[in-house]
Structure 1
């Protein structure tokens, strides 16, 4: 049975709440929206969040509440049900003018509750992170449900909220949304749930590793909703970010996680899977894997069954060392010095290296001097991988082989927007081409979408990729012992 999005088109209360939220959003300037990362939840997305949360009365939290569309809608849905369990909302909203809209939303629900003789009450507070010390000191909270669409911006390990988190939990988090999640999780009673609309970025990456380990130890991930398009969740705010809806419960991890895949927030889930939690949460790199459908899942499974890692093939992954703004004075367009490979000039539609024109290019060579000697490598056969792809790219794994014979100098300089694979085994050009071909294969491309929700390829992501084992062919050269995994090839 598929989860359907409840639009409640026949009930004025939900339309009224959504309209108040729209007015709250419109009341903020674009600069204030950026300052507070105040991007309000659209109605259809709110409907899905509320349906997943399945609030059935008791203490309900909405942290970073905005105009209150999440908590007010959840409370209204409960009040209109057959349950007589009282409803109490504890909300936090840092922007004073937005708190006035929040009060309006709650008045709409309060009026409905009075007409039905249902118990409903609220409290509205300011900065949610000010609650961190109290919340993290508590072993068990008193919330049945919390629903959040928290702000999103980077925070320093030395920030006030991170110092509190480190004092209690021994680690820090890289983004404000992660702190909202941690504090909210600590406020839950046993079997209480948090439903969060958050960036997918905490699913992988080194900076969120301790956060993931903590979640896996203390909470269950019950459901995840994934949207195929990165820009769909907040398309009206021009926010480009892959978001997910995750429901956590304060209990041991359930054996299976339900995955919903939607084209966009306005559509019902087009795909639904129940997958073993061990498959998604337990791996040697401590990431949370997230397939959108069986094609991605099967590709990921096939790839992970292969026997070899880069290191077992005698290969090493590195990131280019040239930071362009730091070496601007040493870059030139006269081929003078070390051959420079820049991401925006790297053509990856061919098996071997080709450069392409970019009017924003910083140059084709780097002067060799005392200031640049530490960023250079020897000319050799290497595999080049773009670290960042555009949102519109069909393929995330953009790679090609640079042969030593193509190098125009004895030293190479590589942009830090490029990762490269090197090693003695790549002296065999055929082997280098086969490794690059494998990285460009259908299964690896699909696996990268399971592993990583961003357009940036991290070293930890590549470390999860598996390869066929190496053998020696009849000409005493290195080779891969089987065909590329997968049934499709992205490169024409």
Structure 2
């Protein structure tokens, strides 16, 4: 399927040997997911230029050295003699013998081709070793021309030494891969380039807002590659994150970004486009949100919603996350209804436009009414309920149901933590505006928009608050039209939303086709 040759294949063999000697859960704990050979070669080919003469290259989280091997493979095709100095960081001592074997193989091949390779394997914590430890003690300064990385991926405690060292980019519960990107950016020389394969999650959302601002104030995106499937890239490791590859330059003028997309490991079959920088990285709200639209159709969808001057938060609505965290509330959860319980709604109770209760699937469907559980309950009012998560390859990211006060046999209701609920503070949603909101959220238009700005399967309340929405008049019109019809099929809803927003008929029909 690919044309990878000697050095990368040698590294791939080292990866297989390491994998066979370790348990998958052990590799997952370390955040180690080896880079597939075709992806490594593609990443090495993304650098716009390899400087002549002496080239200093950084490979943090090097693993068995697959990415450095891919760079060396590319250098073999360069006619003028190059001197590579590669610094490889790895925290797992079990990987070091495999890494050294790969780099020795690279050195032999480069020497035979008239090049020179010096490499250093650094065993230790890349973050702590390369960050400023106190205000009086500087870490290493910029010294690298290129960096190529597949950093580890796992969440770290806010109290951890790494998080404290990276306090300038931390918000919420941080992930180690963002620290790797930030430290790498610091270590690049002006004009230096990094190529990194990471989860897409840092492209948007509040957790990564501080990191995005810090990073994109220093690094200019030049090329973004997206994988349209979450399941085909790291198949052997069971990774379900949506991944991206970023080529970024330290400094440089932001003009345009090359955007490519492929289905999985076969990166030869790519869709390619060039996008204006400010349309790819939107800083209109100071968020540096990275928007990935891989077709003219998706460009039109994003443009249609961005034309709305209002955001969800501007219309007097509020959205919160269900307060019932099941594993922390086990003493209150019940399988049987009684005079001392209220309904407990889960994601499986929420369907487009409606709430189905009871709907047994083995989970407790009731919650005790006690003094200790009062903080977990909300008044039984009309809400628009949004599922917070979608299944791995589910057709829709957004599913919105409506809960009516009569759906609850109590004055109270419990909402499980995997639900978001929309309400009017101090008032109750009108039926028509609730239906209008649900129709808007259930539309393929909003679903495609959400996919373009978010690589997550999770629907965060913060993202909904900043989502563009029609004004109250249009939402009410949508709600009235949906209420008038008994046909609430996706196609019908799409056409109602399209008429309200005056979308081109061609775009509406394309959305209808995708909504079936």
TM-score, with structure 1 as normaliser: 0.90
Q: In 2, distance between residues paired with 1:101 and 1:54?
A: 29
Judge which range, 445-454 or 157-166, deviates more. 157-166
Match in the other structure for 2:190? 190
1:53 matches 2:47:
yes
| Residues 262 and 170 (structure 1), Cα distance of their counterparts in 2 relative to 1, 3 Å cut | closer
The alpha-carbon deviation at position 312 of structure 1 amounts to 3.1
The alpha-carbon deviation at position 429 of structure 1 amounts to 1.4
The alpha-carbon deviation at position 293 of structure 1 amounts to 2.5
Contact 2:227 2:244 in 1 (8 A): yes
Contact 1:25 1:39 in 2 (8 A): no
Match in the other structure for 1:340? 343
5+ residue gaps, structure 1: none
The alpha-carbon deviation at position 296 of structure 1 amounts to 2.2
| Residues 426 and 437 (structure 1), Cα distance of their counterparts in 2 relative to 1, 3 Å cut | farther
Judge which range, 425-434 or 465-474, deviates more. 465-474
Judge which range, 42-51 or 156-165, deviates more. 156-165
| Residues 437 and 38 (structure 1), Cα distance of their counterparts in 2 relative to 1, 3 Å cut | same
The alpha-carbon deviation at position 421 of structure 1 amounts to 0.7
Match in the other structure for 1:36? 30
Match in the other structure for 1:388? 389
Contact 1:141 1:189 in 2 (8 A): yes
> Secondary structure at the residue paired with 1:372?
helix
The alpha-carbon deviation at position 313 of structure 1 amounts to 2.6
| Residues 352 and 66 (structure 1), Cα distance of their counterparts in 2 relative to 1, 3 Å cut | same
The alpha-carbon deviation at position 55 of structure 1 amounts to 5.7
1:22 matches 2:16:
yes
1:132 matches 2:133:
no
Match in the other structure for 2:155? 154
| Residues 69 and 356 (structure 1), Cα distance of their counterparts in 2 relative to 1, 3 Å cut | farther
1:360 matches 2:377:
no
Match in the other structure for 1:458? 460
Post-superposition Cα deviations, 1:257-295, rounded to whole Å, max 9, x if no partner, equal: 111111112242431121122123213261222223222
> Secondary structure at the residue paired with 2:420?
strand
Match in the other structure for 1:175? 175
Q: In 2, distance between residues paired with 1:154 and 1:139?
A: 25
Post-superposition Cα deviations, 1:24-68, rounded to whole Å, max 9, x if no partner, equal: 333322232123121111111111111113562501111111111
> Secondary structure at the residue paired with 1:110?
helix
- Equivalent positions of 1:382-421 (< 5 A) are 382-421=383-422
Contact 2:324 2:417 in 1 (8 A): yes
Match in the other structure for 1:92? 89
Match in the other structure for 1:243? 243
Aligned-residue RMSD, C-alpha: 2.7
> Secondary structure at the residue paired with 2:166?
helix
Q: In 2, distance between residues paired with 1:184 and 1:474?
A: 50
1:483 matches 2:500:
yes
The alpha-carbon deviation at position 462 of structure 1 amounts to 0.8
Q: In 1, distance between residues paired with 2:401 and 2:40?
A: 43
Q: In 1, distance between residues paired with 2:336 and 2:13?
A: 60
| Residues 491 and 369 (structure 1), Cα distance of their counterparts in 2 relative to 1, 3 Å cut | farther
The alpha-carbon deviation at position 92 of structure 1 amounts to 1.0
Match in the other structure for 1:216? 216
Match in the other structure for 1:379? 380
> Secondary structure at the residue paired with 2:208?
helix
Match in the other structure for 2:298? 296
| Residues 444 and 93 (structure 1), Cα distance of their counterparts in 2 relative to 1, 3 Å cut | same
Contact 1:470 1:478 in 2 (8 A): no
Q: In 2, distance between residues paired with 1:16 and 1:474?
A: 63
Match in the other structure for 2:268? 268
Match in the other structure for 1:117? 114
Contact 1:468 1:481 in 2 (8 A): no
Contact 1:224 1:244 in 2 (8 A): yes
The alpha-carbon deviation at position 478 of structure 1 amounts to 8.4
The alpha-carbon deviation at position 222 of structure 1 amounts to 1.2
Q: In 1, distance between residues paired with 2:175 and 2:476?
A: 53
The alpha-carbon deviation at position 170 of structure 1 amounts to 6.8
Residue of 321, 324, 330 corresponding to 1:322: 324
> Secondary structure at the residue paired with 1:206?
coil
Match in the other structure for 2:225? 225
Q: In 2, distance between residues paired with 1:117 and 1:138?
A: 35
Contact 1:106 1:122 in 2 (8 A): yes
Match in the other structure for 1:200? 200
> Secondary structure at the residue paired with 1:483?
helix
Contact 1:385 1:399 in 2 (8 A): yes
Post-superposition Cα deviations, 1:342-365, rounded to whole Å, max 9, x if no partner, equal: 3243241x42222474433122x2
Contact 1:228 1:262 in 2 (8 A): yes
